[in-house]
Amino acid sequence: NAGVTQTPKFRVLKTGQSMTLLCAQDMNHEYMYWYRQDPGMGLRLIHYSVGEGTTAKGEVPDGYNVSRLKKQNFLLGLESAAPSQTSVYFCASSYAGLAGADTQYFGPGTRLTVL
Amino acid sequence: RKEVEQDPGPFNVPEGATVAFNCTYSNSASQSFFWYRQDCRKEPKLLMSVYSSGNEDGRFTAQLNRASQYISLLIRDSKLSDSATYLCVVNPYNNDMRFGAGTRLTVKP
């Protein structure tokens, strides 16, 4: 099993450009999440999904959109990138929801710089 | 006030030392608690869940104090391989997680 994979690993964008980050998991997990990690702030939840075809907002959803067309994939889109979106983005998945105290498995991260 | 607060450290300790980290959370209705470990430029990985009665996993002991709204992690007999950032994580609502900024630990020979 590859676990949780993310593409790309690194990306540099100019302000106003768009891009999509791809997360894939091969563990048949129902729940998937997108976080961003900034220095001194810890990880913050952007969006999450509780199953194929569903998405929900997290703590910091503005400027991002997501889609979960297939159970194994969770896409994060930036329509018009801003320097404030420079961050490390982590995808995670879990078998059950977090209220059930289920373990989250994280991908290796995508380092995004917006100039 | 941050929802989850940790001492950022760094904690620099010699091999074999015992070190303790504390974490406080603001939402008294929080249900689930965890410690994750994150190595430099890597993804977080679950170290252990934290249960009301306290729990131990080898050299690691986690405690939860709901009345005071804090969580602790004790590492005994520190190893060089324990050097990492330790993240306190709290689940205040369904399918949501709040991460502390992390406490950095360096174990030196």
What pLDDT sits at residue A84? 96
Q: Is B70 part of the contact surface with chain A (CB cutoff 8 Å)?
A: no
Token reading at B80: 């060089």
Average pLDDT, chain A: 92
| Shortest distance, CA B4 to any CA of chain A (angstroms) | 9
Please choose, from the candidates B67, B57, B73, the residue with its C-alpha nearest in 3D space to the C-alpha of residue B23: B73
Owner of token pair 């607060």: B5
Q: How much of chain B, in percent, has pLDDT values that exceed 70?
A: 97
Token reading at B92: 């205040």
What pLDDT sits at residue A97? 62
Write out the DSSP string of A33-99.
EEEEEETTTEEEEEEEESSTT--EE-SS-TT-EEE-SSTTEEEEEESS--GGG-EEEEEEEESS-GG
d(CA B34, CA A101): 8
Q: Are A43 and A24 in contact (CB under 8 A)?
A: no
| Shortest distance, CA B16 to any CA of chain A (angstroms) | 28
d(CA B49, CA B28): 18
Is the per-residue pLDDT at B92 higher than 60? Answer: yes
